[in-house]
Amino acid sequence: MPLLNALDPHRWLADHGDYLFRVARRQLHSDALAEDAVQETLLAALSAQARYAGDASPRTWLTGILKHKIVDAIRRQLREVEIPRDADGEEAVDALFKQDGHWAEPLRPWGNPQAEAELGQLRRILDECADRLKPVMAQVFSLREVAGMETEEICKELNITPTNCWVLLHRARLFMRQCLEVNGFAKAGAA
């Protein structure tokens, strides 16, 4: 019979499972990987709970463990995938520009939405576009732009060269910008 206190692992799942899943899902871009990360986090927390001093809230403590599990999951993916000088990535970038290096199409201005309803809509588009990137690209991009990790730290953690890391990030930004523009960020008039 599990103890009914803040350190009860079943309470962790009930109280923080959805939150942890959303954080993981947003950075791993895969339901299955995110579910695994939540499970690994809770199991690790169980083993480590003697060391939990209780000075952070359980959610903060669990989120800290989750961050490591997310990086581990991305590292495992990277081992399986050849990065990133893939030909179609290169081609997709080239397609955005003319031969002489100018933009192939003029960029359309974006609005500057403040209303919460509008922001919610944009967040959904943002998530959908990120999900459409190639998995590794999406994950490295999310560590930088969603989790706010420093690029240097990302390269080191994932053991990829700064050049590869940076190529992934730059391409992700180009593709994301394009996807956002096509899917509703562009507005007549503003920004």
Q: Confirm or reject binding of residue 10 to another protein (CB under 8 A).
A: yes
Whether residue 38 contacts residue 21, with contact meaning beta carbons closer than 8 Å, is answered with: yes
Question: Under 8 Å CB-to-CB from 4, ≥6 apart: which residues?
Answer: 11
Q: Which CB sits closer to another protein, 85 or 97?
A: 97
Burial of 167 (0-12, 13-18, 19+ CB in 10 A): buried
Judged by CB under 8 A, the chain residues 142 through 171 that form the site for another protein are: 144-148, 151-152, 166, 169-170
Q: Confirm or reject binding of residue 42 to another protein (CB under 8 A).
A: yes
Interacting stretch for another protein, rule CB under 8 A, among 65-73, 75-83, 107-115, 132-140? 107-115
Q: Confirm or reject binding of residue 26 to another protein (CB under 8 A).
A: yes
Q: Confirm or reject binding of residue 86 to another protein (CB under 8 A).
A: no
Whether residue 142 contacts residue 29, with contact meaning beta carbons closer than 8 Å, is answered with: yes
Q: Confirm or reject binding of residue 63 to another protein (CB under 8 A).
A: no
Integer Cα distance of 143 and 149 in angstroms: 6
Question: Can you list the pairs that 169-172 forms with residues at least 24 positions away whose Cβ atoms lie under 8 Å?
Answer: 169/140, 169/141, 169/144, 171/84, 171/89, 171/92, 171/93, 171/137, 172/133, 172/137, 172/138, 172/140, 172/141
One residue of 50, 102, 159, 188 binding another protein per CB under 8 A: 102
Q: Confirm or reject binding of residue 71 to another protein (CB under 8 A).
A: no
Integer Cα distance of 37 and 22 in angstroms: 11
Interacting stretch for another protein, rule CB under 8 A, among 50-58, 65-73, 80-88, 95-103? 95-103
Where along the sequence are the contacts to another protein (CB under 8 A)?
2, 9-10, 13, 17-19, 21-23, 25-26, 31, 35, 38-39, 42-43, 46, 96-97, 100-103, 106-107, 109-110, 112, 119-120, 122-123, 126-127, 144-148, 151-152, 166, 169-170, 173-174, 176-177, 180-181, 185, 191
